[in-house]
Structure 1
Amino acid sequence: MKERIERLKKLTYIPQNEIAWLIEQAELAVKQREIIEENKRQQEVTVHQFRQAQKDIQQLSGDRKRYKQALEKIITNLNFAITVAQNELEGDA
């Protein structure tokens, strides 16, 4: 391709078939550029979604930790209440 371009640069008259080839190459270059731009855009969207997912995971992990701690407190309080109730029942017996 480079050789063909260099040969065309040296010509003072460019034949019609060579002009058609140049137009075809220009159209291909435009399509390739559009594809590259779309791929970049999709990559940016994917990166944004990935970062958002990371934030969501961190938040959910924090929520999970808080819920676990709250549940452990509830279980401890229930165990204490059960023990108190058992002691009262044993005392009544």
Structure 2
Amino acid sequence: MKERIERLKKLTYISQNEIAWLIEQAELSVKQQEIIEENKRQQEVTVHQFRQAQKDIQHLSGDRKRYKQALEKIITNLNFAITVAQNELEGDVK
């Protein structure tokens, strides 16, 4: 490709073949740029989705921790209530 460009620079007359090649290269360059731009856009969307997923995971982890703590308190209270009830039953039996 470099050779063709250098040869074109030296020519005063450019053949139809060379013009066609130049146009083809320019069109190819435009298509490649469009592909690059689309890939960048898709990458930005993916990064945004990933960051949103990270936030969702952090939020859900916090919810899980709060639910676990609340459940542990309920279990503790139930165990205490069971112990009290057992003690009352043992007191009634004696």
Deviation sequence 1:36-92 (CA, Å, 0-9, x none): 001000110111111111111111111111111000000000000111111111111
Write the distance in 2 (CA, Å) between the matches of 1:2 and 1:89: 98
**CA distance in structure 2 between the partners assigned to 1:78 and 1:21 by the alignment:** 84
Which TM-score applies when normalising by structure 2? 0.94
TM, length-normalised to structure 1: 0.95
Unaligned runs of 5+ in 2: none
Give, in whole Å, the separation in 1 of the partners of 2:10 and 2:30: 25
CA RMSD of aligned residues (A): 0.8
User: How many pairs does the alignment contain?
Assistant: 93
Q: Aligned residue for 2:16?
A: 16
Structure 1 segments, 4+ long, off by >6 Å, are none
Residue ranges of structure 1 left out of the alignment (5+ in a row):
none
| Cα offset, 1:16, TM superposition | 0.3
In the TM superposition, 1:1-93 aligns within 5 A as 1-93=1-93
**1:2 Cα offset (Å):** 1.3
